[in-house]
Amino acid sequence: MKLGVVSRIGEFSQENWRGEFETFGKNGQGASHLELISNYPYFGPADYTEEDIGLLKELARKNELKLTIHLLPNQRGLSKELSESIFDSQERTKEFVEHQKKVYSSYNIGALDGRVRRESRKEILRTLEMARKLGVEVITIHGGSYTDDREFPINLERARRTLEEVNPYFTDVKLCVENLPTLGHGNDFIREFPKHIADVLYLTKDLNNVGICLDVGHANVSGRVLSFYEALKKTGKLWDFHLHDNKGDKDDHLQVGEGNVPFRELFEELKRDNYQGTLSIELDTWCRREMQKEERIFALDYLRRLMK
């Protein structure tokens, strides 16, 4: 098992990057990898610079950290001022939620609008190009979004088509589709997918280069974590995990151990099955104002004890 942490360093100046790598690298916490969140206006696949790439490669090499990428292009056009002050007030939160509704029309691999779907496919391939420059081996994405329950089967089919189209390009990098929760951070109903085991299996079946990221927090909201694991491991394409906690009612991204996600039982299963993929502690997300180093350090220690 390769245990690492999610990092949204792209939202911060390069002065913060070095400290993040040093904290979790060989002379710090000795994590396996950093999973870099790639979104707009922060380190998006269409706006990163060669300087960004060069610095990240240098820091990864020096600190002996691998890199993975989580593509989240749902903040396209969102100002840094707004994002950094997110959740400071109900007004700001509402503004962000409204913005999310709008951007579903600009990035959605399951879009009914063919132009949107084609642009979304290009976004994935742009991310693949960035990943190759960084030496990244795993990219994780969401499966798509929908607005009408009656049209959801069509959205799901369109997402499947997009994944079929990008599958041939991912010969040297793994593309993972992540399961989503039913209720989000703000107790709001999530219109993203896949939420259910059957939909994850449908999106990834018979695609050699498209696998699965099991988000245990999302699975805890949408159903039973161990049921998700037992079903998805049978595909042989369970290549990544997102680790965070909640109490089963909404996607809180709580500190590991503060909810009821069955981490002990899950890690017993992972050890028994000799899981060799990546596991990423996902506490550094857009719903938090600052990078939570202390929480991620605690989670690393907690989960390492379960790995023994």
CATH assignment of the domain containing 264:
3.20.20.150
Residue 235 token pair: 């595909």
Higher pLDDT, 81 or 142: 142
Going by C-alpha positions, the residue among 66, 78, 146, 139 that lies closest to residue 112 is: 146
List, in order, residues 6 or more apart from 175 with CB less than 8 Å away.
124, 128, 139, 141, 163, 166, 167, 209, 210, 211
Mean pLDDT of 244-258: 92
Give the CA distances from residue 100 to residues 58, 76, 261, in Å, rounded to whole numbers and listed in that order.
34, 9, 27
C-alpha R_g of the chain: 18
Mean pLDDT of 8-37: 92
b vs e for 109-133, b when ≥16 Cβ sit within 10 Å of the residue's Cβ? bbbeeeebbeebbebbebbbebbee
- Which sign, positive or negative, has the C-alpha torsion 178, 180, 186, 191? positive
Pinpoint the alpha helices (H) of 7-47. 14-24
Q: What letter represents residue 120's amino acid?
A: S
Highest mean pLDDT among 103-107, 146-150, 186-190, 207-211: 207-211
Could you tell me the pLDDT band of residue 84, with boundaries at 50, 70 and 90? Answer: low
The overall average pLDDT reported for the chain is 88
pTM of the prediction? 0.90
Instruction: For residue 101, give its domain range.
Output: 2-307
Mean pLDDT of 185-212: 90
Total domains in the chain come to: 1
With beta carbons less than 8 A apart as the criterion, state whether 168 and 209 touch: yes
Residue 43 token pair: 């380190």
Quote the pLDDT of residue 79.
46
What DSSP character marks residue 75? T
Quote the pLDDT of residue 15.
82
CA 301 from chain center: how many Å? 21
With beta carbons less than 8 A apart as the criterion, state whether 87 and 287 touch: yes
Quote the pLDDT of residue 75.
53
169 has a pLDDT exceeding 80? yes
25 has a pLDDT exceeding 50? yes
